[in-house]
Amino acid sequence: MLTPEQVELKLDRILLKVQKPGRYVGGELNSIRKDWDKAQTKVALVFPDIYDIGVSNVGLKILYDQINQRDDALAERAYAPWLDMEELMREHGIPLYTLESKRPLACFDIIGFTLPYETLYTNALNILNLAGIPVRSADRDESHPIIIAGGHSTTNPEPMHAFIDAFAIGEGEEVIHDIVNAIQKTKGAKREVTLRELAKISGVYVPCFYAATYMDDGTVAVTEPTLPDVPKTVNKRIVAKLPPPPTKFIVPNIEVIHNRVSVEIMRGCTRGCRFCQAGMITRPVRERTVQEVVDAADAAVRASGFEELALMSLSSSDYTYINDLVDAISKRFEGRKLTVNLPSLRIESVSVDLMEKLKQHRSGGFTLAPEAASERMRRIINKFIPDEDIINTTREIYSRGWTTVKLYFMIGHPSETLEDVQAIVDLCKRVIEEGRKVAGWKVKLHAGVSTFVPKPQTPFQWVACDTRENILEKQALLKRQLLKDKSIKLSWTKPEDSLLEAWLSRGDRRMADVIYSAWKNGAKFDAWDEGKKSEAWLPAFEEHGLDPAFYTHRQRRTDEVFPWEHITAAVRKNFLFQDFRMSLEGQIRVDCRLNCFACGILPTFANLRRENPGEGWKCPDVKTPARKIDIELPVVGD
């Protein structure tokens, strides 16, 4: 295995031959390099995409901060090298290394992958291979690191079960310490002993201790433990109170996708959008105090020099003290050059008062997400906003000096028609027309139109994904009518990208072989236009006798056992099915801060509430008591 000095010597010979050498050198302001010999446990945190994207990932920043606060552990970072760098690394025998110490990943005790979305799966395999570590978990021994993965996509870990030793399900701030402690406890022991110790941790799923069986129609019959002391169901991990956010933000060596300070003001969402996996799996809502957010933002800006601040959450304008927070931010940063962004603003909760407060620190654009443009579709997805509310809100935005409004939409929602897609066109035209009335011809509109992909642990986990032909027809309608207006920018997702995500998001264990074969066929950087090989996937399905349509275009049976049935985000399947039934009838649920619908979160974590009373939880403070409404799910054979 190469020493750090040998790695650096080899890097000196190749770095001037690649795009953006700054991706690979490390040494950034606020990066942490600890004494290797004094750390009992070494963790390599890996974001399996290029540095330009991964260095901004908030989840990785949190874990980096948490581990490096320990005296007995260290955390370093690695990212996927771009195509040119990978080619030279393989040619010169350079294994993938961490930026802090230039040590190969294989030197570490733990390699922790962050997997927020499914199109990173082949990159994860490629990184293991580039690091000289067996790609399949079954081929590793005591000389290899323990491979851990977490992130939103791992709420269905089964497609990656063959490659990851253990999955951290849910939130990572506390479970990462339990994992480090377990590795320390079993140091020098057989690999199975370490894995069995990890399986005892709440929220940790060790897939080699489970087996799946299938029915004649190809659906899962059951996934169950193969050992008596392994839990039948793995519950997501949750922190009762959000810990202090990181403030020592790494300042990248190059221009990256988000050169900014990001402070999470709130976690969880109570809106209940039926398509939104994040809103379902991050329940319940927990809020930081205004003082904590402002102090963290100030410390992070001073430590980094960034001139942009993002106040992060799934629904920023639903933060209870949002007006007080913007006032406090404006006061603290008065006279300092700082742009403040509030991503994920809800149209129905964006007030004129809030817009006025944001004006002092505004950026060039204002982003809103109606998701659907017809009121019928908004009822189906449980994001009901009258058209006039959208028009009035965007008019107020333009009138207060913002020149660009960005509206996010999705096509491919359940039961969508071309009339619903035409409604996107009509709404965009109305928005730009109203904007011109109050701000003239300088106004612009950016319509971002993605394609809906059904996700696990949501009410829409039962529905079929739209076909390629339907997606292309809908996109053609949008292009024909919206691209005529030079004030309107339209962006969309390629059907191939959406279908790949759909194959992987609801895949079962058999998809692991497909992923492996696709990677062997050259698939990687599947989220990129350059470098990806879409043609690698269909032969991989054929090689293993699987039909891609089984995972995408098939409506799930009401009694179907899902591949992720043994993994729970603490929202009851019965609640999700009831919500799915309501969507078929166009019925909406109100914000569950106003009325508790007994989704399952509160009883599951009642012990956390008792141990941490009054710690920013919002679910217990509803005005109406919980009502548990059950619909009997049919049994197989009915």
Indicate the average pLDDT of the chain: 92
pLDDT over 50 at 193, yes or no: yes
Give Cβ neighbours of residue 71 (< 8 Å, ≥ 6 apart). none
Tell me, what's the pLDDT at 532?
81
On the question of pLDDT at 287 being above 90, the answer is yes
Q: Which residues of 222-250 are buried (b: 16+ CB within 10 A; e: fewer)?
A: ebebeeeebeeebbbbbbbebeebbbbbb
Q: How large is the average pLDDT for residues 216-228?
A: 97
Instruction: Compute the distance between CA of residue 554 and CA of residue 495 in angstroms, rounded to an integer.
Output: 17
pLDDT of residue 628: 43
**To the nearest 10°, the Cα dihedral for 10, 11, 17, 22?**
180
More confident residue, 55 or 402: 55
Query: Quick one: which of 156, 163, 53 has its CA closest to 111?
Result: 163
The whole-angstrom distance between residue 254's C-alpha and the CA centroid of its chain comes to 24
pTM: 0.93
- 321 pLDDT tier (thresholds 50, 70, 90): very high
Q: What CATH superfamily classification does 4-235 receive?
A: Cobalamin-binding domain (3.40.50.280)
Beta-bridge mates of residue 617:
286
| Residue 362: pLDDT band with limits 50, 70, 90 | low
d(CA 316, CA 7): 44
Could you report the per-residue pLDDT of 72-85, keeping only the tens digit for each?
999 999 999 999 99
Strand order in the sheet with 365-371: 365-371, 404-411, 444-451, 488-492
Q: Check residue 596 and give its pLDDT.
A: 87
Per-residue pLDDT at 345 exceeds 90: no
Residue among 324, 321, 320, 325 nearest 310 (CA): 325
Predicted confidence band of residue 613 (pLDDT cuts 50, 70, 90): low
Nearest to 620 by CA among 600, 599, 638, 602: 602
Domain ranges of the chain: 4-235
Q: How far apart are CA 109 and CA 67, in angstroms?
A: 13
Q: In the predicted model, what is the mean pLDDT of residues 245-273?
A: 94
Which pLDDT score is estimated for 612? 55
Q: What is the predicted pLDDT for the residue at 258? A: 87
Most confident of 212-226, 337-351, 529-543: 212-226
